[in-house]
Chains A and B, each alone.
Chain A
Amino acid sequence: MKQWEVVIGIETHAQLSTQSKIFSGSPTAFGAVPNVQANAVDIALPGVLPVLNRAAVECAIRFGLAVDAEIAPRSVFARKNYFYPDLPKGYQISQYELPVVIGGRLAIQVAETEKVVHLTRAHLEEDAGKSLHEELGPQFRGKSGIDLNRAGTPLLEIVSEPDMRSAAEAVAYARALHALVRWIGICDGNMQEGSFRCDANVSVRPRGRTAFGTRREIKNLNSFRFMQQAIDYEVQWQIATLEEGGHIEQATVLFDPLSGETRAMRSKEDAHDYRYFPDPDLLPLVIDQPWIDRVRLQMPVLPAAKRDQLVSDYGLSAYDARILTASLDSARYYEAVVAAAGSANAKLCANWVMVDLAARLNREDYDIGQSPVSAQQLGGLIARIGDGTISNSLAKKVFDALWNGEGESADEIIARQGLQQITDQDALETLIDEVVSANPAMVTEYRAGKEKAFNALIGQAMKATRGKANPQRISELLRRKLTSTS
């Protein structure tokens, strides 16, 4: 392994979150009955023509701005010609020589090291339909079905430079890209539904050599875990092949999650000649500066800037800031919690969001956007911890109550269940007197030097307050009492 260097480039198809398709007015929603979301243009009836959806272009502009790329003032749609039953026109409208987004960069984090991955380009294109080979009913046994609902769904194909040097870096890149496209609202990132799918171009070369090895392209990686496994397998296979004196042939491969192996789908020899040429049905896409400026105004603060902001405004650690900005939902949630709890509690808020809330969300398999406890509710709860109304341990009970919908706010639950900390000095002293007189054996043991007995007495006191006293305060009062009466 040591003498080989791994080189990986990633091509990603991000389905754009537009209401309608890229060249027709059909809706893009997932999961409809086959072929009901396909109109005359989508099924390529004779005579129909494409009309570009400006919303898809704005997604591309957003992306270009987010990765600091050049937005091409003029880009061209081209036809990629090939026959397949789920490709209704016999060509896919894509961009070839002149893409809409040129260059760009994306910072990734692997372990504690930050690295910049450069992008080659991003271009707009339409998705194909789906061929259904197995899911058809018994009346269609032995036949294939075509569902054209997806045909014409807008895609942004994002192509990276071969900048990644390990499966871990490839996955970090894919995750960062996934977070970014969701952050800027151009893709829902749903990998199960195919909204975000990656192809990895993998090659290996002897360390120190500048020329690339022959690459194989692993198609359609639809989870980060599979990406890691597929690249690991592929790298090990390529190295083993080369070390055994074999050579790598350029090929397209598929990853089989069941066997954990990649296998060749087609070799370079059966590669298509796509006969690209500019689509005469569409004018060149012209994007002027005012359009770019309008889109820029609608952009959210980007993750990196938001991280810096959290560190400087709230004194969070870089690590915390990175976790909280893993998604726009998470960052927005955190900021709303702080708004409700007060910025003096910002670090406490970070802990709650990253630890308590995250654990619970994880356990129930919810996204932060689906949290039953709203940011306002959690902020209200943290405010009560901050001002000493309740202890941290009781706060967890209140959190559970909020989670279960037992009250509208932390204050309501605290009041209803009488969970306010007892801060009244007289009340606490009376209580301690009672504990001391009720447990003479423990007092004797403490005085004999057994510190354990002191803890037992605190336990008794806490039990008597049903947890509502501040343990710190109880400890102080108890020690004073035992010392003064000795």
Chain B
Amino acid sequence: MIERNLTDLARALATKRISSVELTRLYLDRISRHNPQLNAFITVDPAASLAQARAADERLARGDGGPLTGIPLAHKDIFCAKDWLTTCGSKMLSNFVSPYDATVIARFKAAGAVLLGKTNMDEFAMGSSNETSFYGAVRNPWQPECVPGGSSGGSAAAVAARLAPAATGTDTGGSIRQPAALCGLTGMKPTYGVVSRYGMIAFASSLDQAGPLGRSAADCAILLNAMAGFDERDSTSLDRPTEDYSRAINTASGARPLAGLKIGLPAEFFGDGCHPEVMKQVDAALAEYRSLGADTVAIRLPNMSLSVAAYYVIAPAEASSNLARFDGVRYGHRASDYRDLDDMYCKTRAQGFGAEVKRRILIGTYVLSHGYYDAYYLQAQRIRRLIANDFVEAFRQCDVIAGPTSPSTAFRLGEKAADPVQMYLSDIYTIAVNLAGLPGISIPCGLAGELPVGLQLIGNYFDEARLLDVAHRYQQASDWHLKSPTGFGECSAT
């Protein structure tokens, strides 16, 4: 059962081969068995999950279930869920029980999905290894000495270890795609504005976007169908006609399903800086794409090299302001001992935030300061426009862009923790996509040693359906996405 895709699970639920309660129990059991080792979940609440499962079973019995009714899903602990502890991986919110549902959570609720648990993450989504979490590092199911990537590391580890059929994540600079790559999963960041940010705790508002993490493009499409859509509570949400992101996937195809597709290969993604073993797998995947009918064309993204620098101005600037609300006044952590108001603020924030969050608040505060704003923030915004224009130019020559998701496979716990710049560079291929607001997906395309390698595909604005289809055709022709780490075998007779 744990190797079934979402379509098969939905069918099993609809035909009563298994109930949602049984399925949810199965995963809760797996979590209780394996989570102590992985630390992928911050909160599980079996009673709450099973109550939702029972409601889903009633709905299924009435015959009005949908593709996700009764399916347990894990959600990154960045999404507010009513009556659930919602920590964002921080001590600051270690006591925060949300009184409301994020739009993403509400949409999954409406679809009848079961909230299986809240997953671990880098604190306030700031990190690429899941090591900045107040709740401790998450281990990569493929190799416990390695990180799962971040910031959606808990979601990725949970799905990779089959502790959840699929999960949600958020991606500000690569936080879905990079852990997907490092854990052998498929993970998508949609076009900015496709998924509502309401109730998703903000890191960098102009870059944050929620998306699915699953075992296949087909599963991600099913999740995205539930997540996407206009939300009047998010002013940056886009009011567009509803799309079926599975539509291309569900059409039959011949031997060369991608004939005519032009895949752009930016020189900047294929230079130095990428581990040769990773590049080898990426090259093999591109060869597979050519055999599926696609053409590869060389393209340039000339301002690519500026993306990490621009990102580490813009994202901390927005974060420094977004995190100002965590002041100990209304909710969350408050220092127990303080002399006066300023002392309360200082102690609360000194105790409540971890080192990486403090680093970014300081950077952000600095770049927005009087006298520095033009040189840093405005300059970074100019670079951001240049990068977006690079992509506009590139998409005149190709339909999708491909390259490695991450320059390396999963690195060892602690390996980069002391060197922020090394850590920041692990997002070198993903960050530009956020700056431009484009959709991107990472799919498993091989193993380097024991560890998965991810191929990143980048689409034009609102081209999610094509991107998912291009990923799906590869997954029909390969089995990298079906590989799973050992040690988390089937544990139930179902």
A residues at B contact (CB < 8 Å)? 40, 43-52, 79, 81, 83, 85, 88-91, 146, 273, 275-277, 280-283
Contacts and interface: CB of A to CB of B under 8 A. Distances in A.
Given A44-B330, A273-B370, A51 B235 contact: yes
Contacts of A273: 369-370
A283 B232 CA distance: 13
Say what secondary structure dominates the interface of chain A.
loop
A64 to B, nearest CB: 22
A81 B330 contact: no
A474 B2 CA distance: 113
Contacts of A79: 321
A47 B317 contact: no
Given A46-B86, A83-B345, A146-B329, A283 B102 contact: no
Nearest to B232: A51
A49 B198 contact: yes
A47 B99 CA distance: 11
B198 A47 contact: yes
Nearest to B366: A275
A45 B373 contact: no
13 contacts: A44-B330, A46-B325, A47-B200, A48-B198, A49-B235, A50-B235, A51-B234, A81-B321, A81-B368, A90-B323, A90-B327, A273-B370, A275-B365
B345 A277 contact: no
Nearest to B318: A280
Interface string B286-326: 00000000000000000000000000000001101101111
B225 interface: no
Task: In the A-B complex, list the 5 residue pairs whose CB atoms are closest, starting with the nearest.
Answer: A90-B324, A275-B368, A280-B206, A280-B205, A47-B199
Say what secondary structure dominates the interface of chain B.
loop
Nearest to A44: B325
B93 interface: yes
B335 to A, nearest CB: 14
A282 B235 contact: yes
Contacts of B365: 275
B80 to A, nearest CB: 5
Contacts of A50: 235
B477 to A, nearest CB: 40
Nearest to B208: A280
Given A275-B321, A277-B317, A277-B321, A45 B233 contact: no
B139 interface: no
Given A49-B233, A50-B235, A90-B327, 11 more contacts: A40-B100, A46-B86, A47-B200, A49-B198, A81-B324, A85-B329, A90-B323, A275-B365, A276-B368, A277-B377, A280-B236
Contacts of A88: 325, 329-330
A131 to B, nearest CB: 10
B325 A89 contact: yes
Nearest to B331: A45
Interface of B: 79-80, 86, 88, 93, 96, 98-100, 102, 197-202, 204-206, 232-236, 317-318, 320-321, 323-327, 329-331, 341, 345, 365, 368-370, 373, 377
B325 A281 contact: no
A97 to B, nearest CB: 11
Nearest to B196: A49
A275 B370 contact: yes
A48 B99 CA distance: 12
B370 A43 contact: no
A258 B98 CA distance: 47
Contact of B369 (A46, A52, A275): A275
Contacts of B331: 45-46
Contacts of A83: 324, 327, 345
Contacts of B369: 273, 275
A47 B197 CA distance: 8
**Could you say which of A45, A49, A79, A146 has the most chain B C-beta atoms within 10 Å of its C-beta?**
A49
Contacts of A40: 99-100
Given A280-B205, A281-B205, A45 B100 contact: yes
Contacts of A44: 325, 330
A275 B320 CA distance: 10
A165 to B, nearest CB: 32
Nearest to A77: B235
B95 to A, nearest CB: 12
A131 B64 CA distance: 51
Contacts of A275: 320-321, 365, 368-370, 373
Nearest to A281: B205
B235 A283 contact: yes
Contacts of A281: 202, 205, 235-236
Contact of B80 (A46, A51, A52, A89): A46
A466 B233 CA distance: 73
Nearest to B377: A277
A273 B368 CA distance: 9
B236 A283 contact: yes
A47 B202 contact: yes
B324 A47 contact: no
A81 to B, nearest CB: 5
Contacts of A276: 368, 373
B81 to A, nearest CB: 10
A276 to B, nearest CB: 8
Contacts of B232: 51
Contacts of A46: 80, 86, 88, 93, 96, 98, 201-202, 325-326, 331
Contact of B324 (A48, A89, A146, A282): A89
Contacts of B321: 79, 81, 90-91, 275, 277
A43 B198 CA distance: 15
Contacts of B327: 83, 85, 90
Nearest to B101: A47
A91 B86 CA distance: 23
Nearest to B314: A280
**Could you say which of A273, A275, A281 has the most chain B C-beta atoms within 10 Å of its C-beta?**
A275
Contact of B201 (A47, A52, A282, A283): A47
Contacts of A277: 317, 321, 368, 373, 377
Contacts of B205: 280-281
A81 B366 CA distance: 13
Contacts of B197: 47, 49
B80 A45 contact: yes
Nearest to A52: B235
Contacts of B329: 85, 88, 146
A67 B368 CA distance: 34
Contacts of B236: 280-283
Contacts of B377: 277
A41 to B, nearest CB: 8
Contacts of A51: 232-235
Contacts of B202: 46-47, 281
A312 to B, nearest CB: 48
A282 B235 CA distance: 6
A481 to B, nearest CB: 86
Contacts of B330: 43-44, 88, 146
Nearest to A46: B201
A146 B329 CA distance: 9
A275 B366 CA distance: 9
A52 B234 CA distance: 10
Contacts of A283: 235-236
**Could you say which of A51, A91, A277 has the most chain B C-beta atoms within 10 Å of its C-beta?**
A277
A282 B205 CA distance: 10
